[in-house]
A and B are shown apart, each in its own frame.
Chain A
Amino acid sequence: MKNGTTATKSTKKIGAVIGEYGAFIALIVLVVLLSAINADFRQPSNFTNLLRQATFNGLIAVGMTCVILSDGIDLSVGSIFALSAIICAKLIMVGVPAVLCVLIALVAGTLLGGVSGVLVTKGRLQPFIATLITMTAYRGLAMIFTNGKPISRLAESISSEGGSFFFKALGKGNLAFSSNTGISFPIPAFILILVFVLFYFILNRTTFGRRIYATGSNAKCAKLVGVNTDQVKIIVYCISGFLSSLAGLIMISRVNSAQPTLGDGFELDAIAAVALGGTSMSGGRGKIIGTVAGVLIIAVLNNGLNILGVTSYYQDVIKAVVILVAVLSDSKR
């Protein structure tokens, strides 16, 4: 009898662990599987490369997690990604110092996100509609500003050497740990990890984090206990805008040009990563850790399938199947 209860307890525990870290288990399985069948995949350099690729979706998905936790959705992330990149590139072309360009673009991205927040709270639009509007508008603005043409040779257009170095480092730089071993770590991936840690802290340890969860769980109730739910919502869209523009700036640094079509469809990968991580689409429930796993799963799939030479049409179908399986197994816990 006693054995029976401990046995059920321990199986329950295992169940809870799978429920909690299901996305991580899936990630590990995926990595082990791909490492086993392909030698190129298991190279250390491939893993740093993989992290570098994960940066864009990773940054956007962190913002998306905050928005979704507050019971919203942000479709405008891809457009903000492009528009703030264009703003930065334009400023560089007219000779504004690079550091200032980046800062202005980040502020712009934050404000662009804030517009969605204001539409949702003060304009009482549903988040889906509000960000569909901003998504369309920002993409249009990006097209207008550039006449639909890319702005290239950015690094070369920066006059000061320091500015040029800063701009290049953002997307292409490495943190060298020790010059003789040659092990280095990409700066974008380092930024991503910093952002993950920062938002883990904000969501778990700060009162503001609690307010996001409460707003997403039951906004009416949260408002009545004194949470400024409108403010919370506006801030999460600002966060999403900020992180999207940060991702956009890293992108133009890396490719050394800015195109108005950048980031098209990025909102879908970000939402997929959040969903993979087990965050509830109706808000109030979810963890940043889950999003980390979700982002990595998508990055590993993209990277691994590329290395295996799977054509992109099949890649999409395989990605869809993985997301389906992950989400189904999550809801069964």
Chain B
Amino acid sequence: MNIEMRGINKSFATNQVLKNAGFDLKDGEIHALMGENGAGKSTLMKILTGVYSKDSGTILVDGKEVHYKSPQEAEKAGIVFIYQELNVLFDLTVEQNLFMGKEITKGFGLCDRKAMCKKAQEIMDRMGVHIPVTAVMSDLSVGQQQMVEICKALMVDAKVLIMDEPTAALTQSETEILFQVIQSLREKGVSIVYISHRMEEIFELCDRITILRDGEYIGTRYIKDITMDDVVRMMIGREIGERYPKRDVEIGAEVLRVEGLTHQKLFRDVSFTVHAGEVLGVSGLMGAGRTEIMQAIFGNLPVVAGKIYIDGVEVKIHNPRQAIAAGIGFITEDRKTEGLLLEKSVEENIEIANLGKTSRKGIRSKSLRTKLVKEAIEEFHIKCFGPEHECNNLSGGNQQKVVLAKWIYTEPKILILDEPTRGVDIGAKKEIYSVINDLAARGVAVIMVSSELPEVLGMSDRIMVVHEGKVTGIINSADADQEKVMTLATGGCLA
């Protein structure tokens, strides 16, 4: 299916989010759509699929102008959008999800479960994935849920599949399976629009790339004719310089020492140290236990054995309050469900982590609060209308800055960052890296868990690799490369 979008304009209230944007898609290609957060990628695709209406512009499908008024209409025409936040009914089975709203019946509204299971199994087989069709969705991994979503799209005979950040929550092996599925779909003539922030993936998978910036069409290129630096330049409209800013910090005394930390199931015998001014990168495959180790250090997950020393003194940490009192800060990987009070304002989010600083004897102080929040917004370049701005309406990068700000004002000695740049665009990423460098320069011991190898390699002084709940190696980043880290992460040994 050929799609051509020309001169698309769209405003929300007074805010013009698309200015003369365009896009074209050929039969059976994988087409990357890139741009910073807020560049208009999702909006453009939502206009194509009838979620939003356009203010002006034309959309041609196979040469004929179309106006889809709803996603259902677009779906009938064969264009399916798989959203980043999966549209899944978690309490129902795979088969029930696949056939929701289009059940096969025996008449009188009676479901023909046998027929539906059979057809669901056929589709699974065709895609080459093995998910039991009677499994309940919430028991599946995110990767498997994603596969079910793709199956759902194939059931309606999709000719165009739009995927928004499909790998954001997938493990390495799940990503590989997804890529195989995507490639086999291309061979069957399905066109795919692939929205992602992960440059490496796009260069591995896609045929062409279109770049948007501030709602404007910047250009379309064949992947083979372009470099990553070119893409970055087109996305931000200027040279970004070094992707990982250098830091020149004297590494000080040992701040945190973890010895033999063991959880009943998830990890065992974890030992490591972090020094003042040091950034310890933590790498490993998803599900290796990295996040759980950090949750345990922060007192949010009980352990069966192990000791934690801070500044050489053993501390007992059984809950987050004790961890905070001991000088630990923790930025969780899931800022939407754990990191932020999403429906609350920037001010309220910063205040709740700094109640001691913004109150006197348990009574809140407006002046202390206003001063702290104003300072935070300026120092961290949080783009918002003001302290009252609800976090829900901030971009991913700015949300993450709020989380960073609220923790940094607690003045932790040790800051644990779990996937600090997930779902954050390149510009904001760089700002977050600078914040990490500043912290290290101030003598904070930083632990950074990340699934992005280049980031771990670029930012860390040392890298700890975790495989199936065990530390398989701690290497100096000067001696490290992607291959070494991956070897350790998959349970191999370094020669």
Q: Which residue of the partner chain, among B338, B342, B359, B406, contacts A207 with CB atoms under 8 Å?
A: B359
Looking at chain B's contact residues, the main secondary structure is: mixed
> A217 — which chain B residues lie within 8 A by C-beta?
341-344
Q: How far is the CB of B366 from chain A (nearest CB, A)?
A: 9
A214–B298 Cα distance when bound, in Å, is 20
User: From residue 290 to 343 of chain B, which have CB atoms closer than 8 A to chain A?
Assistant: 298, 300, 319-321, 324, 330, 332, 337-343
> A208 — which chain B residues lie within 8 A by C-beta?
362
At the interface, yes or no: B69 with Cβ under 8 Å from chain A?
A: no
Q: Give per-residue flags for A273-296: 1 if the beta carbon is below 8 A from chain B beta carbons, else 0.
A: 000000000001100000000000
Q: Which residue of the partner chain, among B321, B330, B340, contacts A218 with CB atoms under 8 Å?
A: B340
Which residue on A lies nearest to B342, using beta carbons?
A218
At the interface, yes or no: A220 with Cβ under 8 Å from chain B?
A: yes
> A228 — which chain B residues lie within 8 A by C-beta?
319, 321
In the complex the two chains form, is B364's CB within 8 Å of A210's CB? yes
> A222 — which chain B residues lie within 8 A by C-beta?
341, 352
Given contacts A221-B338, A221-B339, contact A226 B344 (CB under 8 A): no
> B324 — which chain A residues lie within 8 A by C-beta?
225-226
Q: How far is the CB of A278 from chain B (nearest CB, A)?
A: 15
> A285 — which chain B residues lie within 8 A by C-beta?
343
Which residue on B lies nearest to A201, using beta carbons?
B363
In the complex the two chains form, is B339's CB within 8 Å of A226's CB? no
In the complex the two chains form, is A224's CB within 8 Å of B364's CB? no
At the interface, yes or no: B60 with Cβ under 8 Å from chain A?
A: no
Looking at chain A's contact residues, the main secondary structure is: helix
Q: How far is the CB of A308 from chain B (nearest CB, A)?
A: 41
Which residue on B lies nearest to A285, using beta carbons?
B343
> A218 — which chain B residues lie within 8 A by C-beta?
337-338, 340-342
A229–B3 Cα distance when bound, in Å, is 52
At the interface, yes or no: A122 with Cβ under 8 Å from chain B?
A: no
In the complex the two chains form, is A226's CB within 8 Å of B341's CB? no
A211–B356 Cα distance when bound, in Å, is 12
Q: Which residue of the partner chain, among B332, B338, B339, B352, contacts A210 with CB atoms under 8 Å?
A: B352
> A213 — which chain B residues lie within 8 A by C-beta?
344, 348
> B321 — which chain A residues lie within 8 A by C-beta?
226, 228
Q: Which residue of the partner chain, among A205, A206, A210, A221, contacts B351 with CB atoms under 8 Å?
A: A210
> B330 — which chain A residues lie within 8 A by C-beta?
224
> B363 — which chain A residues lie within 8 A by C-beta?
205-207
At the interface, yes or no: B355 with Cβ under 8 Å from chain A?
A: yes
Q: Which has the most chain A C-beta neighbours within 10 Å: B320, B337, B342, B406?
A: B320
> A214 — which chain B residues lie within 8 A by C-beta?
341, 344, 348, 352
In the complex the two chains form, is B320's CB within 8 Å of A221's CB? no
Q: Which has the most chain B C-beta neighbours within 10 Å: A206, A211, A228?
A: A206
At the interface, yes or no: B117 with Cβ under 8 Å from chain A?
A: no
Contact-residue bracket for chain B: 20 to 34
A267–B31 Cα distance when bound, in Å, is 58
A217–B320 Cα distance when bound, in Å, is 18
In the complex the two chains form, is B364's CB within 8 Å of A207's CB? yes
In the complex the two chains form, is B359's CB within 8 Å of A224's CB? no
At the interface, yes or no: B353 with Cβ under 8 Å from chain A?
A: yes
Chain A: how many interface residues by the 8 Å CB criterion?
23
At the interface, yes or no: A141 with Cβ under 8 Å from chain B?
A: no
At the interface, yes or no: A227 with Cβ under 8 Å from chain B?
A: yes
A207–B351 Cα distance when bound, in Å, is 9
> A333 — which chain B residues lie within 8 A by C-beta?
none
A226–B329 Cα distance when bound, in Å, is 10
At the interface, yes or no: A13 with Cβ under 8 Å from chain B?
A: no
> A227 — which chain B residues lie within 8 A by C-beta?
352
A213–B344 Cα distance when bound, in Å, is 10
A226–B355 Cα distance when bound, in Å, is 10
> B340 — which chain A residues lie within 8 A by C-beta?
218, 221
A224–B340 Cα distance when bound, in Å, is 10
Q: How far is the CB of B408 from chain A (nearest CB, A)?
A: 13
Which residue on A lies nearest to B407, using beta carbons?
A225
Q: Give per-residue flags for A211-253: 1 if the beta carbon is below 8 A from chain B beta carbons, else 0.
A: 1011001101111111110000000000000000000000000
Q: Which has the most chain B C-beta neighbours within 10 Å: A205, A211, A224?
A: A224
Q: How far is the CB of B388 from chain A (nearest CB, A)?
A: 12
> A224 — which chain B residues lie within 8 A by C-beta?
298, 300, 320, 330, 332, 338-339
Which residue on B lies nearest to A231, using beta carbons?
B321
A210–B345 Cα distance when bound, in Å, is 13
Which residue on A lies nearest to B335, using beta carbons?
A221
Q: Which residue of the partner chain, among B298, B332, B364, contacts A206 with CB atoms under 8 Å?
A: B364
A223–B353 Cα distance when bound, in Å, is 10
User: From residue 251 to 310 of chain A, which have CB atoms closer than 8 A to chain B?
Assistant: 284-285
A226–B348 Cα distance when bound, in Å, is 15
Q: How far is the CB of B320 from chain A (nearest CB, A)?
A: 5
A223–B320 Cα distance when bound, in Å, is 7
Given contacts A214-B341, A218-B341, contact A225 B353 (CB under 8 A): yes
Q: Which residue of the partner chain, among A206, A207, A220, A284, contacts B344 with CB atoms under 8 Å?
A: A284
A227–B351 Cα distance when bound, in Å, is 12
A108–B365 Cα distance when bound, in Å, is 35
Q: How far is the CB of A227 from chain B (nearest CB, A)?
A: 7
A228–B332 Cα distance when bound, in Å, is 18
User: From residue 104 to 157 of chain A, which have CB atoms closer than 8 A to chain B?
Assistant: none
In the complex the two chains form, is A220's CB within 8 Å of B337's CB? yes
Which residue on A lies nearest to B340, using beta carbons?
A221
In the complex the two chains form, is B355's CB within 8 Å of A207's CB? yes
A217–B330 Cα distance when bound, in Å, is 19
Q: How far is the CB of A112 from chain B (nearest CB, A)?
A: 26
**6 closest cross-chain pairs (CB), A and B:** A225-B353, A226-B324, A217-B341, A207-B355, A214-B352, A226-B321
Q: A217-B341, A225-B353 are in contact. List 7 more A-B contacts (CB 8 A).
A: A206-B363, A207-B363, A210-B348, A220-B337, A225-B320, A225-B406, A284-B343
Can you list 21 A-B contacts with CB-CB less than 8 angstroms, sorted by A residue number?
A205-B363, A205-B364, A206-B363, A207-B359, A207-B364, A210-B351, A210-B352, A211-B355, A214-B341, A217-B344, A218-B337, A218-B342, A221-B340, A221-B341, A224-B298, A224-B332, A225-B320, A225-B353, A227-B352, A284-B341, A284-B343
